[in-house]
Chains A and B, each alone.
Chain A
Amino acid sequence: MAAVDSFQNGVLQCEIEPNGFDFSNCTRNCALARMGAAPPRLNSTGTTIVAVTYKDGVVMGADSRATAGNIIADKHCEKVHYITDSIYACGAGTAADLDQVTKMLSSSLRLLELNTGRKARVITALRIAKQHLFNYMGYIGAYLLIGGVDPTGPYLYDVSANGVTMARPFAAQGSGSYAAITVLEKDFKIGMTEEEASNLVQVALHAGMHGDNASGNSLNLVVITPEKTIFRGPIVPDFCNKPEPIESDYKFKTGSTTVLKKKEIKFDIVESMDMH
């Protein structure tokens, strides 16, 4: 028993209770990199994300393309991440980092809400994100637009991977941001209506999806008001539709493929005692 305990405390501890990053492969990977081996391609959300504040809320939107090099790794990935019921974050950068950072944000804010019995504020989300990202000196490649409504009003913040934050009336991030920001700079007005704001976000996203090869496929929108949060999407703009062939039949008849060996695992559970 004692042997097992010391074993657990040693090698298996990080498997049983994962805590933080594991750097055990770093030496090997750096050595391989030095030997000239190309690193694996990571999925990145080469992205257009756009957010706009209006009279009493925030509209945020994103395209839905994830790329790995020139391959479209995911045509309908979700880049508008849930943080709390009234706070959302759009992400650009390394896809895995964005997933994990937003997951961390939503869990810590949920805990905060349960502990305090109040709704979390947008500035709190911003602080947690910024301090986390600054700690990792930009190595966590997450570029976020955090937006939401709390009892003190609507807010929109821009967070960079290295920990820079800025409060903004409107913002765009990602590889398609250059196209999107031109639309925002031209048409943004203070005190827009919800409809004007969500139209502006859509037009800006269209610009990004048009002009940037790493953005496209479809778009998702979230409109956050003091009363409710409305999620809209996926919306496929006309120019993103695949031209369907007039006639296409790749239906294979059963038995087209020659099977050399066959094994079947049958399930014949009549009644399950499992607790599901």
Chain B
Amino acid sequence: MSIMSYTGGTVLAMAGDDCVCIASDLRLGEQMNTVAVDQKKVHKMSDKVYVGLCGFHSDAKTVLDKIMFRKNLYELRENRSIKPKVLATIISNLAYQHRFGSFFTEPLVAGLDPVSHKPYICAMDTIGNICTPEDFVAIGTGAEYLLGVSESFWRKGMNSEELFEATAQSMLSALERDAASGWGAVVYTITKNNVNIRTIKARMD
């Protein structure tokens, strides 16, 4: 068994018209044994920038601390709030620093540029290769299911409510087939004016 699916968990991010959605499941497990049912894999970095961390949960926690440290240091040194693309580069460099002994976690960044409100989504592998598609990215144990279903659900130019529905329904479809994720999901919808955090109804098994 791979370490990447030891604790389970899935994160999906989709980009819309001046908005992004980032969703995560809530399960934390030890292989097939569920340990916690309220474990969000999405973390707030600044008002409109969020990261998702999937894979081995211990490493995800360690990496989150390291990301926070570097992000805070950047904001102190530069005296400006972080842009999602800059955060992605910081995380990528952090991951690549551990190229020969990597953390077993895949990071994902989703957010709006604090100035231009341009949506940004990206996912990385464990050693920091950034993928920045225009539509959606998925990481974690359910990524394979998500990529398939999102390919149909995503459309160009969705507004924040349409985007929320597409993200939520993609997530629910993936949770239907991924045994390592589940126990509900939470969807963050980030727009110019607000962030909506919605816990959605899902099967609880």
Binding site for B on A (CB under 8 A): 12, 14-16, 18, 20-29, 32, 37-43, 66, 68, 71, 73-77, 94-97, 99-100, 139-140, 248, 250-254, 256-267, 274-276
Nearest residue, chain A, Cβ from B105: A40
Closest to B169 in A: A252
- Size of the B side of the interface (Cβ < 8 Å), in residues, is 63
B100-A73 in contact (CB<8A): no
Nearest 7 pairs of A and B residues by beta carbon: A25-B101, A26-B101, A258-B201, A252-B165, A96-B129, A95-B129, A38-B2
Contact across chains for B165 and A24 when beta carbons are under 8 A apart:
no
Whether B125 lies near A68 (C-beta < 8 A) is yes
CB-nearest residue of chain A relative to B44? A265
Neighbouring B residues of A260 by C-beta, 8 Å: 184, 198-201
Task: Select which of B79, B102, B196 is within 8 A of A40 by beta carbon.
Answer: B102
For A75, give the chain B residue with the smallest CB separation: B133
Report 28 cross-chain contacts, Cβ distance below 8 Å, ordered by A residue. A15-B73, A18-B93, A21-B98, A23-B100, A24-B101, A25-B102, A37-B1, A40-B102, A42-B125, A66-B129, A71-B147, A73-B125, A94-B129, A95-B125, A96-B99, A96-B128, A96-B129, A99-B129, A99-B130, A139-B100, A252-B166, A257-B200, A259-B200, A260-B198, A263-B196, A264-B195, A267-B47, A267-B194
Does the CB pair A264–B97 fall under 8 Å?
A: no
Is A15's CB under 8 angstroms from B69's CB?
yes
Which residues of B are found within 8 Å of A257, using beta-carbon distances?
A: 164-165, 168-169, 172, 200-201
The answer for the CA separation of A16 and B16 in the assembled complex, in Å, is 35
Tell me the minimal C-beta distance from B77 to chain A in angstroms: 10
A36's closest neighbor in chain B, by CB? B1
Please determine whether A25 and B197 come into contact, CB atoms closer than 8 angstroms: no
- A22 to B97, Cβ gap below 8 A? yes
User: How many angstroms between the C-alpha atoms of A203 and B149 in the bound complex?
Assistant: 33
Query: Considering the chains assembled together, what is the distance between the CA atoms of A14 and B70 in angstroms?
Result: 11
- On whether the beta carbons of B104 and A40 are closer than 8 Å, the reply is yes
Main SS at interface, chain B:
mixed
Q: Please measure, in the bound complex, the distance between the C-alpha atom of A38 and the C-alpha atom of B3, giving whole angstroms.
A: 7
The yes or no answer to B17 lying at the interface (CB within 8 A) is no
Binding site for A on B (CB under 8 A): 1-4, 47, 55, 66, 69-70, 73, 79-81, 92-104, 106, 114-115, 123, 125-131, 133, 143-144, 147, 152-153, 155, 161-162, 164-166, 168-169, 172, 184, 192-201
Query: Smallest Cβ distance from B101 to chain A, in angstroms?
Result: 4
Assess the B129–A274 pair: CB atoms within 8 A: no
**A252-B166, A274-B80, A274-B81 given; A43·B129 CB < 8 A:** yes
Q: Are B99 and A263 in contact (CB under 8 A)?
A: no
Q: Contact check: which of A22, A39, A42, A252 meets B98 at CB < 8 Å?
A: A22
Q: How far is the CA of A94 from the CA of B115 in the complex (A)?
A: 34
Whether the pair A276, B115 counts as a contact (CB closer than 8 A) is yes
Contact B201 A264 (CB under 8 A): no
CB distance from B60 to the nearest CB of A (A): 13
Q: Which residue of A lies closest to B148 (CB)?
A: A71
B128 touches A275 (CB 8 A): no
B198-A259 in contact (CB<8A): yes
Name the one of B69, B126, B162, B169 contacting A42, with C-beta atoms under 8 angstroms: B126
A40 lies within 8 A of B3 (CB): yes
**Contact yes or no, B2 A39, CB < 8 A:** yes
Which residues of chain B come closer than 8 Å to A267, judged between CB atoms?
Answer: 47, 192-194
A63 to B131, CA, bound (A): 15
CB closest residue in chain A, given B69: A15
Contact of A25 with B2 in the complex, beta carbons under 8 Å: no
